[in-house]
Amino acid sequence: MPNVFITGARTGIGLELVKTFADHGWYVRAACRQTEVFPEDAKGGGVQVVALDVLDPANIEHVAALLKDQPIDVLLNVAGVFDSVSNTVDDDTLLTSMSDMTRVFQTNTIAPRIIAEWLLPNLHLGTERLVVTISSVMGTFATLDDYHACHWLYGASKAAVTYAMTAFAKTSPDVKSVLIHPGWVKTHMGGKDAPLDPAEVAEKIYLLIENHKDRLPNGVFVDVDGSVMER
């Protein structure tokens, strides 16, 4: 049975990915900070809920120690935050304190790279040897309009994670690292006006991963349909 480790698994795209991979027969490690409120309908024999605070280096190291010598086929870095006070695109109140702004970069940029590095031995033991990180078109110069300029913090953190994980692809070439722009998805972060359904997006991401050897070259940045994105 193939297995996947998913961060940010309690809500949004992360939760839908947990359900999707489990439905397709994968063993899922669903990592999130608030395990006590992980949805009951997403639990099952093929899903293990893992306590992980991506902002706590000691916690990341602890999880890596617990998983020592256990193979991970696919690492899916999904955990992320927006740059407004309520963490939604509908909130115009932007973060202004240095500590809160730093937290966006810690969550969106640094954590995915650190988690990939700590779990690299597990990925070497896996059969797929694949790291997938959720990035965003907002982290590209191609779409830098007035709205995106106002949300420069989120965009910059996603541009940085694209760079960081593409660099990971070069420093660890025996483990494939790719980035996916999921689109504007109807989640807590995406808001109610988003056009894309999270379950449909999760299924498309699953299909990309299932067929990654044919569709995802190492270091590529694509949308959920597999089209290469401008950076």
Q: Where are the domains of the chain?
A: 3-223
Task: Name the pTM for this structure.
Answer: 0.96
Contacts 24+ apart (CB under 8 A), 136-139: 136/181, 136/182, 137/181, 137/223, 137/229
Question: pLDDT tens digits for 58-87?
Answer: 999 999 999 999 999 999 999 999 999 999
> pLDDT at residue 231 above 90?
no
What band does 143 get if pLDDT is binned at 50, 70 and 90?
Answer: confident
Which residue from 178, 185, 221 is spatially nearest to 200, judged by alpha carbons? Answer: 185
CA distance 145 to 167: 27
Place of tokens 């605070």: 53
Q: Is 77 in contact with 7 (CB distance < 8 Å)? A: yes
* Assigned fold of 3-223: Rossmann fold (3.40.50)
Q: What is the pLDDT of residue 156?
A: 97
Which residue from 142, 169, 170, 168 is spatially nearest to 155, judged by alpha carbons? Answer: 142
78-103 mean pLDDT = 94
